Structure 1
Amino acid sequence: MKKYILTGLLVWLPLAITIWVLKNVVGTLDGVFAWLMVAAQAVLPSSLHPYLNDLQRIPGLSVIILVAALWLTGVAVTNMAGQWLLNQSNRLLSNIPIVKSIYTSVKQVSDTLFSSSGQAFREAVLVQYPREGSWTIAFVTGKPSGEVADRLAAEHVTLYVPTTPNPTSGFMLMVPRTDVRQLDMSVDEALKYIISMGVVAPPPHAAKAGAPTKTATSS
């Protein structure tokens, strides 16, 4: 009986967690949408209040509005007028005390991570951490620059070493390029491997033509 209960749990647990996550995300968006509707009632005529109340009762409407808003924003900033408005808003926010520190830092990180031409989080590698002989999966986020790069002799790469099973926290390392071993697995496969604590291993990949099977590490 215990065997069958565990088997049933393994079948239903992924679905239950998926539904729970989606429910919380949609609930948060619905809460923000409801707050916006309440704020709109303060400035709009009272004749429109019943319609705003009806909109709050539509489940999932906030998700549709969010996707539509993101799409319209993306379309708007692809022309000259949209780019001008975006530049002006960036300039305005960058001149407000306290706000500029947060906004500028977040914008730089988001531009680096989500840029289609960026190299951050495009490559999964193996690195020895936290001591020699122990290996973990890390993600290449770039190369050291500025004063840090001037003080490093050989070619170094900047790595993000995520924790398990929560990959949103981790450590930043700057290690010589020769001390990392490139992996053929994708970033998504590496994340699954980390989150599952090594249980969900990615399928074997064919070795790249002409590529060495491993890189020599420093002694």
Structure 2
Amino acid sequence: MQKKPPTRLQLFRRYFLTGVAFIAPLALTIFIFAYLFQLLHNWIGRPVSKLLPENLVAPDGSAWIASLVGLLLLLGCILVVGAIVSTVLGRRLAAFSERLLLQLPLIRTVYAPAKQIVEFFVNPTAVQFGAVVLVRYPHPNSYAIGFITGKDVEQLNSATGRKMVNVFVPFTPTPVTGIMLVLPEDEVIPVDLTVEEALKMVVSGGVATPTRVLTETEPPK
């Protein structure tokens, strides 16, 4: 039986959905980078523009050259600090400054968790963060993806009489925000997923599953 050719409406729908599937991720990526660039411009570009000659600043006030210079300066500073901290003396200075910050009553309440969060995204193996688990959240009949962020906290174990673990449940589509749960270790379900795979699922709202990624990147033999 000969296949019936698609109607104009079906072609329109197919082309439209194909166009959306191609453009939407690109547009979202551009939007995110544009937003970050705008933040960079507001925080760094404008102060730097005051230090540059007037002929280097755009006449419309956008000061995009200043933002670019600010970005290069920021990257340069990060590289220089990283190079210094990588040395023996730099590591000692970093450890000393960290101990000093952790002794300040108000600063340590922000610095300590901020350091752990940054360490996870930069180097997940540097902290107790990485075991992907399923937890019953927000009610007993549903599950959420979480990450074990800590365990063997004596105060929590003694208070409950059970071995407890700290689990961070990230929110979609911004996994840097979420909720921290303290759960009995025997109530969390380990999942055979890498941190990267789990984060992709969270960011995409479950669309980018590991199976789908393998199907698209590895054609069947």
With normalisation by structure 1, the TM-score equals 0.71
User: Match of 2:167, SS?
Assistant: strand
Tell me, yes or no, if structure 1 residue 118 matches structure 2 residue 118. no
- Aligned residue identity for 1:178: D
RMSD of aligned residue pairs (Cα, Å): 3.3
CA contact (8 A) 1:37 1:52 kept: no
Which one of the candidate residues 174, 191, 195 is aligned to 1:187?
195
- Cα distance in 2 for residues equivalent to 1:118 and 1:95: 21
Residue aligning to 1:132: 140
Cα distance, 1:32 vs structure 2: 2.6
Q: Which runs of 5+ in 2 are unaligned?
A: 1-8, 58-62, 213-221
Tell me, yes or no, if structure 1 residue 50 matches structure 2 residue 53. yes
Which one of the candidate residues 11, 21, 33 is aligned to 1:10?
21
Q: Which moved more, 1:155-164 or 1:17-26?
A: 155-164
- Aligned residue identity for 2:178: G
Cα distance, 1:85 vs structure 2: 4.2
Cα distance, 1:111 vs structure 2: 5.0
CA contact (8 A) 1:94 1:104 kept: yes
User: Match of 2:160, SS?
Assistant: coil
What are the within-5 Å matches in structure 2 for residues 164-175 of structure 1? 164-175=172-183
- Cα distance in 2 for residues equivalent to 1:157 and 1:52: 59
User: Match of 2:126, SS?
Assistant: coil
CA contact (8 A) 1:26 1:60 kept: no
Identity of matched residues, %: 29
- Aligned residue identity for 1:190: A
Residue aligning to 1:19: 30
- Cα distance in 2 for residues equivalent to 1:162 and 1:75: 32
CA contact (8 A) 1:192 1:200 kept: yes
- Aligned residue identity for 2:53: P
Residue aligning to 1:211: none
Tell me, yes or no, if structure 1 residue 34 matches structure 2 residue 42. no
Residue aligning to 2:160: 152
Q: Which moved more, 1:126-135 or 1:102-111?
A: 102-111
Cα distance, 1:6 vs structure 2: 2.5
Give the paired residue count.
196
With normalisation by structure 2, the TM-score equals 0.70
Residue aligning to 2:219: none
- Cα distance in 2 for residues equivalent to 1:135 and 1:66: 41
User: Residues 53, 96 of structure 1: CA spacing in aligned structure 2 closer, same or farther, 3 A cutoff?
Assistant: farther
User: Match of 2:183, SS?
Assistant: strand
User: Match of 1:151, SS?
Assistant: helix
User: Residues 83, 190 of structure 1: CA spacing in aligned structure 2 closer, same or farther, 3 A cutoff?
Assistant: closer
User: Match of 2:205, SS?
Assistant: coil
Q: Which runs of 5+ in 1 are unaligned?
A: 42-48, 205-219
- Deviation per CA, 1:174-194: give whole Å up to 9, x if none: 222222221112112112222
> Counting helix residues as a fraction of each chain, which structure ranks higher?
2
Cα distance, 1:109 vs structure 2: 4.9
- What stretches of structure 1 move > 6 A for 4+ residues in a row? none
CA contact (8 A) 2:135 2:145 kept: yes
- Cα distance in 2 for residues equivalent to 1:35 and 1:57: 10
User: Match of 2:179, SS?
Assistant: strand
- Deviation per CA, 1:68-125: give whole Å up to 9, x if none: 22111011112344345435644665676744543455345545765543221x1211
User: Residues 150, 159 of structure 1: CA spacing in aligned structure 2 closer, same or farther, 3 A cutoff?
Assistant: same
